[in-house]
Amino acid sequence: MTYIITSLCLRDSGCVDVCPVECIVPGKPVDEWPWYYIDPDTCIDCGACVPECPFEAIFVEDEVPDAYEAKGDEKLSMPKGTSGFDEVYDGTNHHGDPVHLEGVRTLAAGEVVDLTKDIQPNYDYFQSGPGYSALD
Ligand code: SF4
Ligand code: SF4
């Protein structure tokens, strides 16, 4: 088991600071890998990252919701160019640095979305994506 970062992630980075095994990394390039990702082979399931996320984007893998009901105004972030994700997000992260994302969609209150499809990218980033070479 591991913890999973979902598309609710807006790169705040607060989770990175508390991870005792430094297994959370920012996706790069941002346009292709817009979230932060948890290396499943290194995560020790301590749960310290969960309360640090201002967007409640982190879940135990088994508890990633397949029917997440939006409170309203949450933003989902996907790779740039993803159909239906045509908003831009400009914010400031935990350290005061700017965050710019170009594949964003704002959820309406009561809208239901399946976040389980966000599990696989956490694995892909380290097994076949840019995170693989970063760990070599
Ligand atoms: S704290 Fe939340 S929004 Fe920030 S990088 Fe971690 S998962 Fe993403
Ligand atoms: S559960 Fe613990 S070890 Fe795993 S990513 Fe979160 S802070 Fe790091």
Of the given ranges (23-27, 51-55, 127-131), which has the lowest mean pLDDT? 127-131
The pick from 24, 36, 123 for probing ligand 2's pocket by mutation, whose C-beta has the most ligand atoms within 8 angstroms, reads 24
What is the rounded CA–CA span in Å between residue 8 and residue 133?
A: 26
Residue 54 — very low, low, confident or very high, per pLDDT cuts 50/70/90? very high
pLDDT at 8: 98
| SS3 per-residue string spanning 22-60 | CCEEECCCCCCCCCEEECCCCCCCCCCCHHHCCCCCEEE
Measured from the alpha carbon of residue 36, the closest ligand is: 1
pLDDT at 135: 54
CA 5 – ligand 1 centroid, Å: 7
CA distances from 16 to 12, 48, 96, 121 (A): 9, 10, 14, 18
Q: Which domain holds residue 23?
A: 3-135
The tally of domains found in the chain comes to: 1
CATH number of the domain that 92 lies in?
Answer: 3.30.70.20
Percent of the chain with pLDDT over 90: 92
